[in-house]
Amino acid sequence: MSDVARFYGLQINRSGMACCPFHNDRDPSLKVYDDHFYCFGCGATGDHAGFVAKLFGLSQIEAAKKICADFGIYLFDRQFAVAVDPKVKAECDYRMWLHKASKTISEYLTKLVNWGKVYAPKNFNVQPHPLFVESLTKRDHIEYLANILTYGSDNEKRQLYSSCREDIMKIRERLDKFSAAERTVKRKAI
């Protein structure tokens, strides 16, 4: 179940929870068990084929075929990938993006706030640290994005989806680099 869920984009945390793609889920409320999933938010449940069926708007048997095709398992005599309902797929992509974007922006905002304190110049003679400058220049805009992602209307969020997807992806990549660097530092410290 978790292999399938991960393969189709769910981010499962250590306790087996993920943000539910079937409702507007801010904190992970979908639990992935060995053989099924259950969402404590919207009650969505099913096995791995049920998950894929719901995600792509397929019947149970079509979903099973899709999983086989995507995982390179030929149970169905090489019958290939079934067409996915593009509307359902687009909606899922959007929901998945929304979870990721909210997380990214709130992480980045925490960093900006922190940099504003940690790298504040001690006196006016020194060149300010670039991360301090970044904190000053970016914070308003990122607060604005965080606000929309948390409290905005569906329409506003969809507008971000079409206008800011690239930018937020770049922030994500950068944050990932930061945490990779932090992990290295921690390892060295040990």
| Residue 44 or 58 with smaller CB distance to Zn ion | 44
Establish if 1 lies at the interface with Zn ion (CB under 5 A).
no
Supply 139's token pair: 């914070």
As measured in angstroms, the least distance from the Cβ of 156 to Zn ion is 22
Considering beta carbons, is residue 43 or 86 the nearer one to Zn ion? 43
Which residues, 35 to 94, sit near Zn ion by CB under 5 A? 39, 41-42, 44
Asked if 94 and 154 touch (Cβ cutoff 8 Å), the reply is no
What's the one-letter identity of residue 34?
A: D
Q: Which of 2, 11, 16, 23 binds Zn ion (CB under 5 A)?
A: 23
Interface with Zn ion, residue 19, by CB under 5 A: no
Among 4, 5, 10, 22, binds Zn ion (CB under 5 A): 22
The residue number whose beta carbon is nearest to Zn ion equals 20
Contact 139, 112 (CB under 8 A): yes
CB burial string 100-121: b at 16+ within 10 A, e below:
bbbbbbeebbebbeebeeeeee
